[in-house]
Amino acid sequence: MHFKQSVNLFLTYLYLAFVAITSIFFYALSCLIWLATAGFDKRKVILNLYASLWASFYIWCMPIWSVTVKGRGRMDMKKNYVIVSNHQSQLDILVIYRLFFPMRWVSKAEVFRLPVIGWNMRLNGYIKLKRGDKESITRMMERCENLLKNNISVMLFPEGTRSKTGIVKPFKPGAFVLAKKMKKPILPLVINNTKNTLPKHSMQLTGRHDMSITVLDEIPYDRFQAMEIEEISTMVRERIASYVNEHIKLEQEKQIEKQTHSAG
């Protein structure tokens, strides 16, 4: 093993230990905030925003990571949305928390079993999903509908899993069924460069990286009211993909190839 790889591995274990130890403190404070606000903050806005602070702390304390936030002003705290994003890495979650916007996440059931992190997800009222289980999907949709009725935004990764290449995978319909049924606006997010920072199936630090998250314009219900679910899904995917670095590079390569053929 090369010296640089050894250093990266050591720093990775050190960082994970730091996360594990400090999470106990943050969770204890989370419980206190829940107790103090349960009587008047039924939407758990304060608790959700505290979770954003907790998650952002792990970005801020890592000097080799930076996150650029664009378009945060497009999010209206008085509104609620069906929020969707592309998905490249486990870091996407920390990056989205940098928006400091109250929302409830849809997350796979396995994450809820994790000590401290899983407990906090339950405390915040996040939504459990067992992939491939029809009953679990039905319960998830019902929970999301209830949250949206109560002016609480929900956050989903419609790809269903992380993209190893950065190319946005086809979207599953759930988020768009919700938006249409509940007549709620769709808020697309675009994440870039997290796959290089922490690749899929890896927990090892890979050096200095600049990540970004961009909030695109909301898509109001009137815009997709008459559209089929598949059409809505395709429209949102194309809108997100047009801002993803890997798609931009792919389009540039296609244009160069087209110009080369034309010149020939």
Token representation of residue 120: 């906090």
Pairing between strand 186-192 and 82-85? parallel
pLDDT in the model for residue 264: 60
224-246 pLDDT, tens digit per residue, is: 999 999 999 999 999 999 999 99
pLDDT in the model for residue 258: 79
Distance between CA atoms of 24 and 33, rounded to whole angstroms? 14
pLDDT in the model for residue 1: 53
Which CATH number belongs to the domain containing residue 10 in this structure? 3.40.1130
- Tens digits of pLDDT across the chain (264 residues): 576 677 778 888 899 999 999 999 999 999 999 999 999 999 999 999 999 999 999 999 999 999 999 999 999 999 999 999 999 999 999 999 999 999 999 999 999 999 999 999 999 999 999 988 899 999 999 999 999 999 999 999 999 999 989 999 999 999 999 999 999 999 999 999 999 888 776 777 777 899 999 999 999 999 999 999 999 999 999 999 999 999 999 888 888 887 777 766
Domain span at residue 139 reads 3-263
How far, CA to CA in Å, does 121 sit from each of 18, 45, 85, 128, 145? 20, 14, 19, 9, 19
Is 98 in contact with 211 (CB distance < 8 Å)? no
Work out how many domains the chain is built from and give that number.
Answer: 1
pLDDT in the model for residue 224: 98
